Amino acid sequence: MTRADPGTRLVLVDADGSNVAKGTTDDYGSLIFYDIEPAVGFRVIRDGEDDPEELVSLEGPTTTVEDRSVRGSDPFVVPSGADHPPTTLYTSQPLQRGLNYIRMRDDITLAMTVRLPPGKELDDGPFPTLIEYSGYDVAAPSDLLASIAARLADPEAPPDPLAPSSSTAVGAVIGPLLDFAVVSVQIRGTGCSGGAFDLFGLPTVYDGYDAVETVAAQPWVKGGKVGMVGISYSGISQLFVGGTRPPHLAALAPMSVTADLYQGVGFPGGIFNTGFAKGWLTERQEDAKAASDGGQAWAAELIAGGDKHCEANQLLHHQARDGLAELADVEFREPRLFAQRTPAAWAKDIDVPTFIIGGLQDEQLGSYWATMIPSLLDRPDTWVTMYNGNHNDALQPAVLTRWAEFLNLFVADRIPRIPEAVLGFSRVLFDQIAHVPAEALEQSRFAAMTNVSAARDRFRKDPAVRVLLDVGGTDLGAGSLAPSWELTADTWPIEGTKATRYHLGDGTLSTAEPTTDAAEATYDADPAARPETSLDPSVASPFADQPNKWTPISAGSGLGWISAPLSSDTLIAGGSSLDLRLTASEADTDLQATLTEVRPDGQETYVGSGWLRASHHKLDESASTATEPRPTHLATDRSTLDDDAPTLVRVGIDPTVHAFRAGSRIRVTLSAPGGDRSLWKWDTIDDGTTKVTVHSTVAEPSALVLPVIQRRTAGAPLPACGVLRGQPCRAYVPATNGG
């Protein structure tokens, strides 16, 4: 509802005249009724004794009424996701170079900016075309590449207020440089797009469908089909849109995503992430404000310059859902919040070629995304690339050439060739993105071929899974964007992977079956015993964006278990599980399990972590495996700890791939959450007063279960301490229990 008087009380009634929902218009005269089940015959009337059916203006899929002499709105439909609009919605809306406003199925218009390869005009088409779909300031209409060049030339020059965010460089810079047209689509309720922000709500998901079909219908789009690209926000959005199966979607190429907004990043293990997750959502809500009250600066700039469409599109922005308020009292996985906002649930329905890239120590989104790899590989033409390292490392040269090959073969239908100017410019670009040394971008291995079908067939012979390992450990320098070696496979889990149990002894880990009961070990669950994160601005980083103060667990505030030196390399790939028999002095506690490699030189390298609120230990048995426990996180399954009889609690450690070298030792620690991640913080229930005890007996042993790939060895020597991307290194300090 828009353009009513502010403070108007409105009622949504169904076809039978029954009240479905009520609300009051905001200061803009706007109101949205959320979560209405699809049906026909809805009307909106005024609530109250004074002329209860006075008409208010309605913006919707059927009508916009301004005549206040009519009583009540015309009947309208709340459609389901399967109720797609007629194709005329898509074919009747031309897009021109620069900023456009394109109508969605509910008459909301989204800002879309058409970007062409350098020096090209629309008449030079048709162009192979990509979409980047994001809530960052993606549709800001200036040239990001020109903005970057200006900043390099004069670091003191003021930034271009109409330049898109550097987080949208995949579409705004890299796509056009690789000779693709790119349409930058602004998610509803942000920037100059209309509607209200609702993080991955159904309108946003189906806007993506409509955007794909509208762009594909343009006469300047090659082949009448489009691909989708982007990192992080615009990577996650692809999983949702791909699940709606737009008919003219050619391929997806998401980078640095999450599989689950709850377990993956918002509430890992059922514990609210008050670091990155809360901070990111706070920023998105600020972005979603109307431009007059904040919002995105480029929208305010355009409105000040006379853009009336952008100004009108602010009317519903203050009807955005308050995600922080929604989550304030949330602990469990509430279906009303998360059922339709789970990327993996949509991704399983993707039916186009997909090239997905992600880090195994992603400081923003973690590595839980890898849990959806098996469902992605259930269909043909899917390739997964993973690496040790951080969020933006998805853009590293070893990945980007393969990514460009994929887009050329499955979207552009042409032989992949990286323009010479891009090959020469790549190191400057990577310096701007990552601020660390990088390899030069390689030319495509298909550049000399002439037959596109033959090149595509050859690409299809690539292994489905490619893992870049020891990134940062090459001669380019510490933390460089270059892998030392790689591992490939056609399946996930990788063929030959075996769940291998390392039993917890008296500070020890051993694959041998226990013959005597291990000593009980107790710690104080004290989150204040270590820094909240592994970052400390006062301490110099070993290289750009690397965590710089990763501290050991302090005496009495955690436990450790460590193996004997390995006689041969031990490679793991996938999630791990720390299976514990626990008692505690309180009914509940928060747990953090961290997997590390203790090297022959006495240094310790970070591998991965996992978390669990102990009362969430009830598992979805149909989804859990020996190495990947999957809690239900449902309130109805909450089960507290017993103060005397040990409870089996399985703490999942998020997926990773790592090679423990011969001579090194495998270590796992257990403590209160905190200190092992650079950006994640925790709303923990512990305050240092809870004593947690781990029990391990012959009859009921506690164990670390690792996904060990049989008969595999590392492809490079052990790198120096502290050089790997996303994997800090420190001196090994034994825990109180000796591990």
What does the alpha-carbon distance between residue 396 and residue 77 come to, in Å, rounded to a whole number? 47
Q: Which of 12-21, 52-61, 75-84, 258-267 has the highest mean pLDDT?
A: 258-267
Q: Is residue 656 a contact partner of residue 367, using CB atoms and an 8 Å limit? A: yes
CB-based burial label for 27 (10 Å; 0-12, 13-18, 19+): exposed
Give residue 292's pLDDT.
86
Whether the predicted pLDDT of 710 surpasses 50:
yes
What does the alpha-carbon distance between residue 411 and residue 414 come to, in Å, rounded to a whole number? 8
Measured CA to CA in angstroms, residue 465 lies from 257, 382, 461 at distances of 16, 9, 11
Backbone angles phi, psi at 544, to 5 degrees: -55, 140
State what percent of residues in the chain have pLDDT above 70.
95
- Comparing 173-187, 362-376, 416-430, 473-487, the range with the smallest average pLDDT is 416-430
Give residue 50's pLDDT.
42
Whether the predicted pLDDT of 675 surpasses 90:
yes
Nearest to 628 by CA among 348, 332, 263, 349: 263
Give residue 124's pLDDT.
97
> From the centroid of its chain, how far is CA 540?
28
User: Using one digit for the tens of pLDDT, what is the confidence trace for 564-621?
Assistant: 999 999 999 999 999 999 999 999 999 999 999 999 999 999 999 999 999 999 999 9
Whether the predicted pLDDT of 642 surpasses 70:
yes
User: Using one digit for the tens of pLDDT, what is the confidence trace for 606-624?
Assistant: 999 999 999 999 999 999 9
**Once rounded to an integer, what is the mean pLDDT over residues 541-547?**
73
Q: Is residue 572 a contact partner of residue 656, using CB atoms and an 8 Å limit? A: yes
**Once rounded to an integer, what is the mean pLDDT over residues 542-557?**
85
State what percent of residues in the chain have pLDDT above 90.
86
Q: Which residue has the higher pLDDT, 366 or 425?
A: 366
Q: Is residue 534 a contact partner of residue 727, using CB atoms and an 8 Å limit? A: no
Task: Identify the sign of the CA torsion 59, 62, 67, 70.
Answer: negative
All domains in the chain, ordered by first residue: 88-457 (3.40.50.1820), 497-731 (2.60.120.260)
Give residue 68's pLDDT.
34
**Once rounded to an integer, what is the mean pLDDT over residues 510-537?**
94
Whether the predicted pLDDT of 195 surpasses 90:
yes
Categorize the per-residue pLDDT at 74 as very low, low, confident or very high, splitting at 50, 70 and 90.
confident
Backbone φ/ψ region at 667: left (φ over 0), alpha (ψ -120 to 50), beta: beta
Place of tokens 């299976």: 579
What does the alpha-carbon distance between residue 608 and residue 361 come to, in Å, rounded to a whole number? 7
User: Using one digit for the tens of pLDDT, what is the confidence trace for 152-171?
Assistant: 788 888 899 999 999 999 99
End-to-end Cα separation, the chain, in angstroms: 62
Categorize the per-residue pLDDT at 433 as very low, low, confident or very high, splitting at 50, 70 and 90.
low
Give residue 202's pLDDT.
95
Q: Is residue 329 a contact partner of residue 226, using CB atoms and an 8 Å limit? A: no
CB-based burial label for 512 (10 Å; 0-12, 13-18, 19+): exposed
Give residue 437's pLDDT.
84
**Once rounded to an integer, what is the mean pLDDT over residues 510-532?**
95
User: Using one digit for the tens of pLDDT, what is the confidence trace for 301-355?
Assistant: 999 999 999 999 999 999 999 999 989 889 999 999 999 999 999 999 999 999 9
Q: Which residue has the higher pLDDT, 356 or 542?
A: 356
Give residue 424's pLDDT.
78
Give per-residue burial for 462-478: e unless 16+ CB within 10 Å, then b: eebbbbbbbbbbbeeeb
What does the alpha-carbon distance between residue 263 and residue 275 come to, in Å, rounded to a whole number? 15
Sequence-ordered list of residues with C-beta below 8 angstroms from that of 480, at least 6 positions apart, any chain: 436, 437, 438, 439, 471, 472, 474
Give residue 64's pLDDT.
40
Give residue 735's pLDDT.
97
Sequence-ordered list of residues with C-beta below 8 angstroms from that of 576, at least 6 positions apart, any chain: 595, 608, 610, 627, 652, 653, 656, 704, 705, 706, 707
**Once rounded to an integer, what is the mean pLDDT over residues 422-435?**
72
User: Using one digit for the tens of pLDDT, what is the confidence trace for 473-496?
Assistant: 999 999 999 999 999 999 999 999
Give residue 495's pLDDT.
96
Q: Which residue has the higher pLDDT, 134 or 545?
A: 134
Helices and strands (DSSP H and E) totals, the chain: 16, 26
Angle between helices 233-243 and 202-216 (to 10 degrees): 80
User: Using one digit for the tens of pLDDT, what is the confidence trace for 208-267?
Assistant: 999 999 999 999 999 999 999 999 999 999 999 999 999 999 999 999 999 999 999 999
Give residue 72's pLDDT.
56
Give residue 323's pLDDT.
92
Mean pLDDT of the chain: 93
List the beta strands (DSSP E) in 171-278: 181-186, 221-231, 249-255
